[in-house]
Chain A
């Protein structure tokens, strides 16, 4: 038996009869309202594993959180690797297939449940670039089977469980490799620092997608290791979030982002005063949360809110109670070091290398720091972070472009978007540039507006100061 092999760790570190997921998606193949036990979950994992081809890499595009989690584990049990793209664009899939070659796609595309998203974000309606036998629908698995599950698979710690990609553009995304050891150890650190001491089973609702680091860490990986029963849906609108919370047993926790919390607070729906939607804990990440929004969210749900800070290479690293403190407390298990040039490097036991943090940080002591500024290249649009440099390079690759720039305009709006100024030959329209960018950029990063101009206000040296761009942009907007 390999049970005592110290080179392996269990796929799930929970009793077989505890609840790991709850079905609230009415389009799920599992009956609505079911609390899936670890035993049933493992039976489903084995059923999906039987469907999988003998390729090394699986692009996991499942929308339903339970089906994602099940496929994620099936891929690992088959000793394969999950590829977690930042979006579902065909161009992204083509790039992954070219880079990793031995690839198939896992999806659950019959599920249109709470997927208003599936018609709003139309990425996946295009043809898959892969042959039919390499496009696996997990809904084809036999969910009725009653596999006798008596033990939990143990996974080699060195196995490459997943590779996440966080860039908003389709090309040159930096891969972040997660071995099973990284998954296990980072989840233990996350559980302890986000949740504190174990407090019994909590029911979790998450509004963020399972493929992205924040959603993956909290709504997919935590339930494998601590007493969390996660809802399989990803509600978008405030009323949907309230309805989902009402359908969950207490005690509840919510995993979200500032975008969703802001719409909850502003929606004028009665929160915990209605006595139904009380939550024990709210975890928020992806973009900076104001202390005002944190305070309003806490009073709306009569809950404690913890905000988490992370980077794409490591994941979650620090936490604060935003309504009470502006300083971040580093997770036990993560170290920050500042060099003479004030650059900050993060290290942890499960990563071989130190990671440079791109944000500007002021260390108060070994464990406390203030986030002074985000790196100027990194833009944050609706909770998604992308490199302005990379986004500009995508624009510059548009073959008919004479000159162009993508920038962050001054805006008083709540929804911040990028804007672009482009110089084009007379027969090329702005709509052609927009169509090209939509193919190659995450929707959130497609500039709006894209304005055609005669020339960019470059200096004689060729430099393009932001002040000049802003000035031109302002005059164009005024003229509209």
Chain B
């Protein structure tokens, strides 16, 4: 062998030795690395349960996918800053596909689309598209790759509860209308017959494909927290929050429970969807949920006995239930809530719930918030109808006048155009017609009517006695 050839072979040999040594070191490092990934809960199984495209990107791009995701992320931030939103959904889609097991990435992008980007659009239809994109990103894809991520369930539930359920976004009526339309198309409604739904394969599949709702779980949720009106946003918030509960750490368990509580309260106030003649929807109280809320408050407070936020929520919600059920004449639930409240506050004296209901109502008519104004006014109008039906015309007129006064007091507070668009209650005549409907339709919302209690009279007595004392014990 010539000297040159030997020198060449020696170099090759040396290279092979170095490569083999490198391989050995990598092999030794592999096991601790895998263990530390498992410990940190970032172990990935890119080929399991993922579509080919995601498997391809995660495996084929290897470490470079992080780099590409960063580049796309920078571009996404720049476009958003420049007000160019067309690409954001696409970029969010690609970024999340590049990091499918990084749950925070899904949560961030869904939030960004539903909250930060949507508000830049003035057309409610445009806004809804962005909110819907945010929901779909989490529900249809994020949870598919991260089915055990409780914060993701929280974010999804929160979008339903807050973005659609609260009245903070000017376009919320449009969101609710679209949701109610879609739910109606899918055959969902109030107090559903889940046996029939479970037997209808097409409806079941449509729910599964379009909204990722499982009929069995819906039945479970409805039995536990219902009867729910699935055309409203809150049942879906509860559905997703409930899915997250078994997976949650202590912090998220509380957060998810809080969402369920708040949804129940909101549904007591406006949890029934009613379609108007023009195809839009209006919302009325779902008082059938008031006893559920009372029991729920007791359960949750018992679960977190030393935590003041839950105790405060319990007291506040029970007071609200007493006032609202009182004005509608549902004295059985008012008594139940009053008993729970006395127990929570350690009050042993026997007190009539009617007195407390009158006091709670006085405090609330002074502050008829947008969430409760329909319940209060509609309740007063139902009272007027009930008294009128019993030929008690003076009482009926007093209730009618009270309804009008509460309605106008609330309306007078809506000074800006924006607040008026967002928070206005339905026209008073529409509420009058709904009250007549409630009374005429038998006991649909009516409860055994007590002629021995007139809350307005009690309120008048307290008003004469001076400023209303705080209803809270």
The reply to whether chain A is a binding partner of chain B is no
Which positions in A face B, CB cutoff 8 Å? none
